[in-house]
Amino acid sequence: MKRRRESSSSFGILFVLLLLAGGAYYLYQSPMFERIAPSVILDTNGYWNFKKPLKLHIEDTSGIKAYKVLLKTNTKETVLYSEMPITRSTSINILINPPRAAYSNKDKEIKIIVVAQDASKWNFLNGNQTMKEFQLKIDKKKPELITIAHSYKINKGGSAVVVFKVSDENLKEIYIDTNFGKKFTPQPFYEEGYFISLLAWPVTEEAFRATVVAKDYAGNISKSYIPLYLKQKNYKISKIKISDRFLKGKIAELAERFFEDKEITNPLEQFKFVNENVRAKNEKLIHEITSKVPSSMISTFNIKKMKPLKGAVVVATFGDHRKYFYKRKYISESYHLGLDLASTAQADIRPQNSGDVVFSDFNGLYGNMPILYHGLGLYTLYGHCSSVSVSEGDFVNANQIIARTGQTGYAMGDHLHFGVLVQGIEVRPAEWMDQTWIDLNIKKIINEAKVIIKKNQ
């Protein structure tokens, strides 16, 4: 009997121990006793201008029981928020606005301290706590932005230049914004703190407006409008009749080469696809290549007038708005964004300015096409070449033969499609083929800017 009682007692004790262990394990695994401290995230890059509020996010699976936000300067500590929410939310978003006294604060650095406690029963019912400190640099001053010199005017489809100065110890980015969405990238110029950029007014845009924008890391922004005189220019509008012979000849040839979709068999649909889809793809590549601007400092820009084809005549003008019709029905349209020059068949192409070869390959409608970079965001393009004698990465000297004219791509006869681009925008070649225009509108402005910069040193 005694042994039975001892055995029964031992079993009871074991059962109780197992029950307690199971209960403890249950509580240990219960969400009520979660052991992860609240997550505290402050949306900041380490700078604050005391203008825009800071975004604070606190999160915890068991709910936020209490939180406190403090602003600490060199002289005092201010409680910005101290809350014990009635509703235990698992996620809280707070906009931290600086106290009024902060605007007169002279400290260059402050601390934001966040203390958050969750509703967990862990830690003897006290829950988990997080305390995070965020060191912030205070910058309430806008970048100093001064225009030094700029071209007097810009023609529709043409170019101009601007030189300006930017000063800010926390400068983040500078660019030139426009009314048509293009952002020109300025290049460091001559002395530290000065910048230069060519500008371009696309022939497809009716208006032009350019503004220099400087931003610092604290979110302060300065803007300076470039007061250029805008000169409108009328460009040719051509109504072109499409013949069956053209569709069955050149377009059928191009369709055979360029079409990924062999299902397009209708000649007019083939033409539309070539003129719009293939052209857009080719121009996208050109714009990507010619939009790049080095971040290195530039001090000189000794560009000479461009005359790539000796003894040439103009056979098609820049900016020609071409509208295509078939049996009086409108089919498609395009802009001719270069100057077509012709002399003798397979004539030598000799650029009058040195440059780096940034592309040399076949590009759809443009055929064999080298592109040269001449500095300051200025590029020249040579389309429809029969042969090319330079490769990407080569440096070309002035008057060096780089290719020969031809009719590769979308060309009906031997000629050169000569294009000039400023940061990915096609501009009037006629301007860059005129030494007087270059001297008055580009070189003179650069020289004037240098004189001003020297005086300011």
pLDDT in tens, 364-402: 999 999 999 999 999 999 999 999 999 999 999 999 999
- Does the pLDDT of residue 12 top 90, yes or no? no
Q: What's the pLDDT at 35? A: 77
Q: What's the pLDDT at 87? A: 79
Q: What's the pLDDT at 253? A: 84
User: What are 153's strand-pairing partners?
Assistant: 229
CB 396 within 8 A of CB 353: no
Q: What's the pLDDT at 289? A: 98
Of 7-11, 122-126, 314-318, give the lowest mean pLDDT range. 7-11
CA dihedral of residues 93, 97, 99, 103 (deg, nearest 10): 160
The model's confidence at residue 29, banded by pLDDT at 50, 70 and 90, is: low
Q: What's the pLDDT at 440? A: 97
pLDDT digit string (tens) for 215-255? Answer: 999 999 999 999 999 999 999 999 999 999 998 888 888 88
Domain 144-232 has CATH 2.60.40.10: yes
- How is residue 74 written in tokens? 């060199």
C-alpha span between 87 and 21 (Å, rounded): 33
The model's confidence at residue 445, banded by pLDDT at 50, 70 and 90, is: very high
User: What are 361's strand-pairing partners?
Assistant: 369
- Burial category of 115 from C-beta neighbours within 10 Å (exposed 0-12, middle 13-18, buried 19 and up): middle
CB 71 within 8 A of CB 133: no
For 211, other C-beta atoms within 10 Å of its C-beta total 13
Q: What's the pLDDT at 8? A: 60
- Does the pLDDT of residue 26 top 60, yes or no? no
pTM (2 decimals)? 0.87
Span(s) in the chain for CATH 2.70.70.10:
237-443
The model's confidence at residue 61, banded by pLDDT at 50, 70 and 90, is: confident
Q: Find the angle CA(272)-CA(408)-CA(377) to the nearest 5 degrees.
A: 85
pLDDT digit string (tens) for 311-338? Answer: 999 999 999 999 999 999 999 999 999 9
**Which residue blocks in 70-224 are alpha helix, DSSP H?**
none
Q: What is the mean pLDDT of the chain?
A: 90
What are the strands, taking DSSP E only, across 73-151?
77-83, 91-96, 109-118, 129-138, 144-150
pLDDT digit string (tens) for 142-165? Answer: 999 999 999 999 999 999 999 999
C-alpha span between 202 and 204 (Å, rounded): 5
The model's confidence at residue 62, banded by pLDDT at 50, 70 and 90, is: confident
- How is residue 420 written in tokens? 């000039």
Half-sphere exposure (CA, 13 Å, Cβ side) for 194? 22
- How is residue 397 written in tokens? 């000297």
pLDDT digit string (tens) for 85-118? Answer: 877 888 999 999 988 777 777 889 999 999 999 8
CB 368 within 8 A of CB 388: yes
Q: What's the pLDDT at 124? A: 67
The model's confidence at residue 5, banded by pLDDT at 50, 70 and 90, is: low
The model's confidence at residue 30, banded by pLDDT at 50, 70 and 90, is: low
Span(s) in the chain for CATH 2.60.40.10:
144-232
Q: What's the pLDDT at 7? A: 59
Return the CATH number of 237-443, one of 1.10.3720.10, 1.10.540.10, 2.70.70.10, 3.40.50.300: 2.70.70.10
DSSP 185: P
Backbone angles phi, psi at 247, to 5 degrees: -65, -40
When computed from its CA atoms, the radius of gyration of the chain, rounded to whole angstroms, is 35
Fold of 31-138: Immunoglobulin-like (2.60.40)
Q: What's the pLDDT at 6? A: 56
- How is residue 115 written in tokens? 């203390």
Q: What's the pLDDT at 348? A: 96
CB 158 within 8 A of CB 431: yes
**For range 408-413, the mean pLDDT:** 92
Residue with tokens 């300015």: 353
Residue with tokens 């530290």: 192
In single-letter form, the type of residue at position 242 comes to I
CB 63 within 8 A of CB 90: yes
User: What are 383's strand-pairing partners?
Assistant: 417
Span(s) in the chain for CATH 2.60.40.1940:
31-138
**What whole-number percentage of the chain has pLDDT above 90?**
75
- How is residue 430 written in tokens? 């006629």
Of 4-18, 99-113, 138-152, 438-452, give the lowest mean pLDDT range. 4-18
Residue with tokens 């592109």: 371
**Of 290 and 78, more confident:** 290
**What whole-number percentage of the chain has pLDDT above 70?**
92
Q: What's the pLDDT at 89? A: 87
* Nearest Cα residue to 445 out of 207, 249, 196: 196
